[in-house]
Amino acid sequence: MASKTNPGNYFEDFRIGQEIRHATPRTITSGDVALYTGLYGARFAVPSSDEFARRIGFDGAPVDDLLAFHMVFGKTVPDVSLNAVANLGYAGGVFGAPVYPGDTVGTVSTVIGLKENSNGKTGVVYVNSVGRNQRGEMVLDYNRWVMVHKRDESAPTPETVLPELPGVVAPEALQIPKSLDLSAYDFELAGSPHCWDDYAIGEKIDHIDGMTIEEAEHQIATRLYQNTAKVHFDQVAAGAGRFGKRLIYGGHIISLARALSFNGLGNGFRIAAINAGAHANPAFAGDTVFAWTEVLDKFEIPGRRDLGALRLRLVAVRDGQASDFPLRDAEGKYDSGVLLDFDYTVLIPR
């Protein structure tokens, strides 16, 4: 009798152009929002306050942009990265329609690249994933690549296809909600006086605060997104791996670093794009995460004088203040304490 269980896809199961309609659409509730706040403690005013959000043109408080990201991402895991060694990076991510409590998101992915590794045991799979709400509106369109185990090391090596991915999402590709009007933006209630004009290209900001990752927290967070990757949950499997213990979902570090960035970027109220991202080193329970940001660029929004965009590099580090802005060592490799190098674009009032 054939097995009724799903072992997930291995590297040799993927093919270029393959479209995967992921199971289990997710209705996001106010309970999810409360749990997300409890896990990360982000204090950005727009996703925290219905009244604040309505004053600047939202229907109410949208869910945190990264909560929407994780929900869209989580749908892909059973099909794309259940047998992953690690999630490696992101590019060309665009946020579309705001997500509100009560919205249902589903995801479809297309395989856009394949490359077997030289060890013959693993390969890298590139996918484009698009999340849509119940009205068919795009809420997130992004690319990621993940290293996946092979089921059979003797399986034929596929032709290498490396997709052309943008280094940055162009300002004209950003999707600005048409209803936004920041003329009534309240800087005092937002918790920061700093607007678009106050930031300079090349400026670096130490976000000062740290947060220690507890085992239970990252497990709860990853389950919240219905992310089933074995490397996060299965100590039996992880114990036989390179590190001997479970890895923390890289998205957990993104959310922690974003929450910490409030102290210095409190008015970056909306993530508009993910330009690039790398999980530089694995994170584990017990690590204390600190973060710093570099302003990479500033964009004016055509026809808008009330808001602009900042392209930011958000770097998360472990177990030490980020005041010396660590990133790479003398050989150009990521410093061993760097967990995340995340290039993203935020909307911010002018």
Reduced to 3 states (helix: H, G, I; strand: E, B; else coil), residue 263 is helix
How many of the other CB atoms lie within 10 Å of CB of 296?
A: 17
Dump pLDDT digits (tens) for 27-85: 999 999 999 999 999 999 999 999 999 999 999 999 999 999 999 999 999 999 888 88
3-state secondary structure of 241: coil
Assess whether pLDDT exceeds 80 at residue 132: yes
CATH 1.20.58.100 fits 11-349, yes or no: no
Judging by beta carbons within 10 Å of its beta carbon (0-12, 13-18, 19+), is residue 331 exposed, middle or buried? Answer: exposed
Q: What is the pLDDT of residue 254?
A: 97
Residue carrying structure tokens 């940001």: 293
Tell me the CA distances in angstroms from 9 to 58, 125, 234, one per residue in order.
40, 11, 17
Cα distance between residue 278 and residue 280, in whole Å: 6
CA atoms within 13 A on the CB side of 137: 14
Q: Give the start-to-end residue ranges of the domains of the chain.
A: 11-349
pLDDT for res 179: 93
What does the block give as tokens for 110? 């297309």
pLDDT tens, residue by residue, 228-269? 888 888 889 888 888 888 889 999 999 999 999 999 999 999
Burial bucket for residue 63 (CB in 10 Å: 0-12, 13-18, 19+): buried
**Burial (CB count within 10 angstroms: exposed 0-12, middle 13-18, buried 19+), residue 144:** buried
C-alpha to C-alpha distance for 47 and 37, rounded to whole angstroms: 10
Q: How confident is the prediction for the chain on average, in pLDDT? A: 94
- Nearest one of 10, 85, 42, 44 to 279, comparing CA atoms: 85
pLDDT of residue 24: 95
Q: Which of 61-70, 85-94, 130-139, 209-218 has the lowest mean pLDDT?
A: 85-94
Residue 303: the pLDDT is 87
pLDDT score at 239:
85
Task: For residue 326, give the nearest of 292, 301, 302 by alpha carbon.
Answer: 292
The share of the chain scoring above pLDDT 70, in percent, equals 100
Question: In whole angstroms, what is the distance from residue 151 CA to residue 329 CA?
Answer: 36
CA–CA gap between residue 275 and residue 307 (Å, rounded)? 20
Residues 6+ apart with CB under 8 A from 252: 213, 218, 221, 222, 283
The span from the CA of 33 to the CA of 53, in Å, is 15
| DSSP-assigned beta bridge partners for residue 315 | 292, 341
149: Cβ–Cβ under 8 A, 6 or more apart, which residues? 10, 11, 83, 84, 85, 121, 122
What's the pLDDT at 185? 97
Collapse the DSSP code of 189 into the 3-class scheme (helix H, G, I; strand E, B; otherwise coil) and give the result. helix
Q: How far apart are CA 321 and CA 277, in angstroms?
A: 21
Model-level pTM? Answer: 0.94
Name the pLDDT band for 130 (thresholds 50, 70, 90).
very high
What is the rounded CA–CA span in Å between residue 328 and residue 110? Answer: 33
pLDDT at 1 over 80: no
